[in-house]
Chains A and B, each alone.
Chain A
Amino acid sequence: MVTKQTEQTKIKKVLIANRGEIAVRIIRACRDLGIQTVAVYSDADRSSLHVRYADEAYHIGGPLPRESYLVIDKLIDAARKSGADAIHPGYGFLSEREEFSEAVTDAGIIFIGPPPHSIRVMGDKLAARETVKRAGVPVVPGTEMGLTDDELLAAAQHIGVPLLVKAAAGGGGKGIRLVRDLADVPGQLQIARQEAESAFGDGRVYLEKLVEGARHIEFQILADMHGNTIHLGERECSIQRRHQKLVEESPSSFMDPELRRLMGAMAVRAAKAVHFVNAGTIEFLVDKDKNFYFLEMNTRLQVEHPVTELVTGIDLVKEQIRIARGRRMGPTDSVLEPKGWAIECRINAEDPYQNFMPSTGTITTLNVPTGPGVRVDTGIYSGYEVTPYYDSLLAKLICWGEDRAEAILRMRRALDEFTIMGIKHNIPFHQNLMNSFSFLAGLFDTKFVEERFSMTTYEEPFEESDLETAAIAATLFAHRQRQLASQVVQRGTRDTSNWKWVGRWERMHR
């Protein structure tokens, strides 16, 4: 089963099958390694940063992802034309599609990611669950795949409520139904099957115990083709809304050395169970008694990978490329003691005062925070247009400190410096979150933002003196604009023509 592919391959040119901040991030790693880069872009991205930063750029179609970033043939075609010897998929889009990894490999191009087999098994939630369970990794109590309604009903009695009915092909929070009363199970099963059938074309469902008050804690995995598999510690991702992560940190304030050792060992075991190679993430649910359960594996680079980079000093994208080349990865041991503390805030084009409504438009002014311990990964610039075609991530603000308190203080300072004008964004949410007692104390679970956080509770009232200063500034600004405008108007309002006026003036000064 295990085929050892240990010969080293050269990578001289990488095509990045993605856009936005992650494409820029990957280009930077390639530059550091002296590797040429190829960007691909849709009609909406001609002026995007990843296109401008890359050595070469290929247009691949319309603004909708299914017309461009999701079209395998166009990507492989661009790779062939440019002579790229490897493709990096980034996250989202085609990054976890087995057929893409296969098509790339079949075209004789290196896929910077895991082999198709790993993607396939981990992409099917039930298969993933069964595989890691067989390897001895704890999973949330639940049923196997392919059971009939009668079998599921019997199983529901054993698992107990509350429980979740989940679609085998679901993901991103879709295709999940909550049952709090055993009597509701038959009805919910029927609805879930219908939904799954229409949404994913796959009516298989399974049951899973709902772990209440759970935290979402994940482990970064690195594995090379020489049989080395390690973890780089955990990331705490419980601050989320509608299953979208908003803030991530490493380490987790909930972690202790013993739990890290235990969970890390299980994460490595889960990755090995699917013969995983390259960078991936094992997600766990952890209950308040520190029982942990395997949730799923993401077989790609994560959005929140920078927090791990800051507390380990490891450049994950460079390691991905090194591994894809067939070389031994740099780090050799799992990380049991992270250095300091890192927190990431996802800056999204969403208005926290309007129920996180997405915002589109042109960014008129951008001022990005800098200084000690501050990193910003972004694809935006002043003049950038936020379109409705892609996700709302504008930037990732990542702050590092000696400890959690310093990281939070730096984050507050950096959030205050971060200026994005022209569209609505969620920086005020992060500012308020960084002021909330629950966050400061590290007391939260995955339901915290949705159920126990509100923008009004932690918002500091405006100081009277600040209101006055802002009012003075606004008025002086308006006054200036008015004066400038009136000067322009006045030029034409002389009662005589300018030629006559100049003539008189010259005569006067003769």
Chain B
Amino acid sequence: MKYLTTINDKTFEIDIQGDGTLLVNGEKREVDFRALGPAFYSIIMNHLSYELVIEERQEHQVEVFMQGRLYDAKVMDERAQLMAARTAMLMADSGEIAVKAPMPGLVVATPVPEGQPVKAGQTVIVLESMKMQNELKAPRDGTLHKVHVVPGQSVEQNKVLVTIT
């Protein structure tokens, strides 16, 4: 089975063959990979030993914690790559972006009125949570299409706060 695995914009072609042989970009690697318990793994490669915590975040997204650092990996098999390419074409120019609550909280301010242009990085919502005021910013340039909440309102996680077109 061939996989394309991307970490930090660097993509590795990893081929796991039926007999367990593992190739990285066509080169053979001797890998001893053991599951130790829920989420814990051990790898020994060329006598280099690593302890890892690996968890799946969502489909194709895997978090690897290794030697004090967290790696976000995207693991795509051939079928998934094909599907992703197709979806990307459909998504390319769908217009509306929703800014959602990253956590439950209290809406403190909605600084941009509907219909006004916004720049990428401009604060569109101030949300209070964990005793802190958090500024949520526009992900790209556009027009503030609709404000879905009012200051003083409590919101759940993932609630759509404003939409930008």
Contacts and interface: CB of A to CB of B under 8 A. Distances in A.
Interface of A: 349, 355, 357-360, 364-365, 367, 388-392, 415-419, 421-422, 428, 431, 462, 464, 466-482
B10 A467 contact: yes
Given A388-B104, A392-B130, A473 B77 contact: no
Nearest to A479: B16
Name the 8 nearest CB pairs between A and B, nearest first: A416-B68, A474-B73, A470-B71, A358-B130, A478-B75, A360-B103, A474-B62, A388-B129
Contact of B39 (A355, A421, A480, A481): A421
B102 A365 contact: no
Nearest to A392: B130
Contacts of A468: 12, 24
Contacts of B29: 472
Given A358-B129, A469-B45, A480-B35, 15 more contacts: A357-B134, A360-B130, A364-B39, A365-B39, A391-B131, A428-B69, A464-B10, A466-B69, A470-B64, A472-B43, A475-B14, A475-B16, A475-B75, A477-B64, A479-B16
9 contacts: A364-B55, A388-B105, A392-B131, A392-B132, A417-B68, A467-B8, A471-B14, A475-B16, A478-B77
A150 B42 CA distance: 72
A365 B55 CA distance: 9
B162 interface: no
Contact of B3 (A416, A428, A479): A479
Contacts of B83: none
A469 B132 contact: no
Nearest to A422: B55
Given A365-B55, A477-B62, A478-B62, A471 B73 contact: yes
A462 B8 contact: yes
Contact of B31 (A421, A472, A482): A472
Contacts of A470: 7, 52, 64, 66, 71, 73
A418 B60 CA distance: 25
Contacts of A365: 38-40, 53, 55, 65
A419 B14 contact: no
A476 B66 CA distance: 15
A385 to B, nearest CB: 12
Nearest to B52: A473
Interface of A is mostly: helix
Contacts, number: 142
A468 B71 CA distance: 11
A364 B3 CA distance: 26
A223 B143 CA distance: 62
Interface string B1-30: 101011110101010100000101000010
A390 B29 CA distance: 48
Nearest to B31: A472
B96 interface: no
Interface of B is mostly: strand
Contacts of A462: 7-8, 69, 71
Pick the most buried of B8, B48, B103, B135: most chain A CB atoms within 10 A of its CB.
B103
A476 B53 contact: no
A473 B3 contact: no
Contacts of B3: 475, 478-479
A416 B48 CA distance: 17
Contacts of A421: 39, 53, 55, 63, 65
A388 B103 CA distance: 7
Interface string B51-81: 0111110001011111111110101010000
A43 to B, nearest CB: 14
B50 to A, nearest CB: 6
B33 A476 contact: yes
A20 to B, nearest CB: 12
A472 B24 contact: yes
Contact of A391 (B16, B52, B67, B130): B130
Contact of A357 (B1, B64, B68, B102): B102
B10 to A, nearest CB: 6
A479 B76 CA distance: 10
A466 B66 contact: yes
Pick the most buried of B50, B62, B104, B130: most chain A CB atoms within 10 A of its CB.
B130
A389 B128 CA distance: 11
Contact of B5 (A416, A475, A481, A482): A475
B94 interface: no
A431 B65 CA distance: 14
A390 B130 contact: yes
Contacts of A415: 68
A392 B60 CA distance: 30
B41 A358 contact: no
Contacts of A471: 5-7, 10, 12, 14, 24, 73
A73 to B, nearest CB: 24
B87 interface: no
A486 to B, nearest CB: 11
B103 A358 contact: yes
B75 A474 contact: yes
A410 to B, nearest CB: 14
A262 B115 CA distance: 62
Given A360-B103, A388-B104, A431-B68, A477 B12 contact: no
Contacts of B63: 421
A473 B105 contact: no
B135 to A, nearest CB: 8
